[in-house]
Structure 1
Amino acid sequence: MRIIAGNRKGTRLKMVPGQHVRPTADRVKESLFSVIGPFFDGGYALDLFAGTGSLGLEALSRGMERAFFVDQSRTSCETVRANAALAKLSDQVEIMRRDARAALKTLNERGIRFDIIFLDPPYHKQLLIPALTEIAELGLVAEEGVVVAEHPSQISMPEKVGRLTSFRSLSYGDVAMTLYTTEEKEGENI
């Protein structure tokens, strides 16, 4: 697993030791970023259920200004911290070891809005729709923002979740990603 593009291209990232974390495969990351924008000009990213932090670090490498990583696991948070150091991105990273819903509320209280949010919760815990709902209700997506929801390909995601509307689905074997944006952007050609 590595950062595949941007100013930290080629940096090898550590895996979460001794846990069942499903990092997003490099080929899936490459395809995803070609759809959502290969490079960014600033903005904030949120990597919720961060695991190794590879998606948020990829976004930073491609030009995001700052990334927030949330995970309940101490080991995952330590792995994100180590990976940020390996990529020399530590000064652009904030790591929160908290429950996702509590972290979302805290980020909302701080007035932070995200240009991109990555959601890749453990599949078996049924956390994806509640997290999407919370993000929509709190209005955490910036006006031009995108939410990337990773899920098993056999699961059908809702077209709308609150103010969020899906605009594209990507499938890679057993893994799929449904992309959401705010209603204000609905109907625009993305």
Structure 2
Amino acid sequence: MRIISGKYAKRNLFTLKSQKTRPTSDKVKESLFNSLGQFFAGGEVLDLYAGSGALGIEAVSRGCERAVLNDVSRPACQIIRKNVDLTKEPDRFEVFTMPAKVALKVFADQERKFDLVFLDPPYAKQQMVKDMTALASLDLLKPGAKIVVETDEQTDLPPVAGFDLLKDHHMGKTIVRIYQRAE
């Protein structure tokens, strides 16, 4: 797995040797970022279930200002820190080790707001809908913020109040949905 494009392009990333994380393949990652517009003019990113940190690092590589990378797993966070070190710009990243629900409350208490959020929890649709609802109710999203949800092909997500589904990509066994906060 590697950074595909931008300022950190072609850097190989470390991954956790475990069944608990499912790194997003380079092919899916490239298609996902093509759908988002490839490059960004600033903005703050949250990857709530970061795994290796690849999506948040890719977003910063492509122009986002900062990324907040969270994972409940301590070994995953060690890998994320190693990958952040590869960027040689650690001040552009924050790494947290918390359950998602706790992390969202902490970020709300800090009055954080995000332009782009990645959601790829290991336990499917019930949690994604809860996370999206919490992001909105805790006022963690900037106007027009986008949320990228990655699932397997068996997961069918219901409409989520307060969000518009912009894109629904099927890439093999992976489905990537891009939502935008409704105005």
TM range (shorter): over 0.9
> Residues 38 and 124 of structure 1: is their aligned pair in 2 closer, same or farther, counting only changes over 3 Å?
closer
Match of 2:167 in 1: 168
Percentage identity across paired residues of the two chains: 40
Using the TM superposition, give the Cα deviation of residue 19 of structure 1 relative to its aligned residue in structure 2, in angstroms. 4.2
Matching of residue 62 in structure 1 with residue 62 in structure 2: yes
Matching of residue 104 in structure 1 with residue 104 in structure 2: yes
> Residues 181 and 17 of structure 1: is their aligned pair in 2 closer, same or farther, counting only changes over 3 Å?
same
RMSD: 1.4
Matching of residue 183 in structure 1 with residue 182 in structure 2: yes
Tell me the distance in 1 between the aligned counterparts of 2:141 and 2:162.
10
The 5 Å alignment of 1:40-55 reads 40-55=40-55
TM-score, normalising length from structure 1?
0.91
Secondary structure, aligned partner of 2:15: coil
Single out whichever of 116-125 and 62-71 deviates more from structure 2.
116-125
Using the TM superposition, give the Cα deviation of residue 110 of structure 1 relative to its aligned residue in structure 2, in angstroms. 1.2
Using the TM superposition, give the Cα deviation of residue 76 of structure 1 relative to its aligned residue in structure 2, in angstroms. 0.6
Using the TM superposition, give the Cα deviation of residue 125 of structure 1 relative to its aligned residue in structure 2, in angstroms. 8.6
Uncovered stretches (5+) of structure 2, i.e. residues with no partner = none
Map Cα deviations across residues 12-65 of structure 1 (whole Å, 9 max, x no partner): 000113443100000111111111121111110001111001000000100111
Tell me the distance in 2 between the aligned counterparts of 1:124 and 1:157.
9
Using the TM superposition, give the Cα deviation of residue 144 of structure 1 relative to its aligned residue in structure 2, in angstroms. 2.3
Tell me the distance in 2 between the aligned counterparts of 1:39 and 1:168.
17
User: How many pairs were matched up?
Assistant: 183
Uncovered stretches (5+) of structure 1, i.e. residues with no partner = 185-190
- The answer to whether the 8 Å contact 1:115/1:145 transfers is yes
Tell me the distance in 1 between the aligned counterparts of 2:25 and 2:126.
22
Match of 1:79 in 2: 79
TM-score, normalising length from structure 2?
0.95
Tell me the distance in 2 between the aligned counterparts of 1:125 and 1:147.
14
Tell me the distance in 1 between the aligned counterparts of 2:113 and 2:32.
21
Match of 1:22 in 2: 22
The 5 Å alignment of 1:25-40 reads 25-40=25-40
Runs of 4+ in 1 over 6 A off after TM superposition: none
- The answer to whether the 8 Å contact 1:141/1:147 transfers is no
Tell me the distance in 1 between the aligned counterparts of 2:91 and 2:25.
25
The 5 Å alignment of 1:91-130 reads 91-123=91-123, 126-130=126-130
- The answer to whether the 8 Å contact 1:137/1:162 transfers is no
- The answer to whether the 8 Å contact 1:46/1:67 transfers is yes
Tell me the distance in 1 between the aligned counterparts of 2:125 and 2:168.
22
Tell me the distance in 2 between the aligned counterparts of 1:70 and 1:99.
8
Match of 1:142 in 2: 142
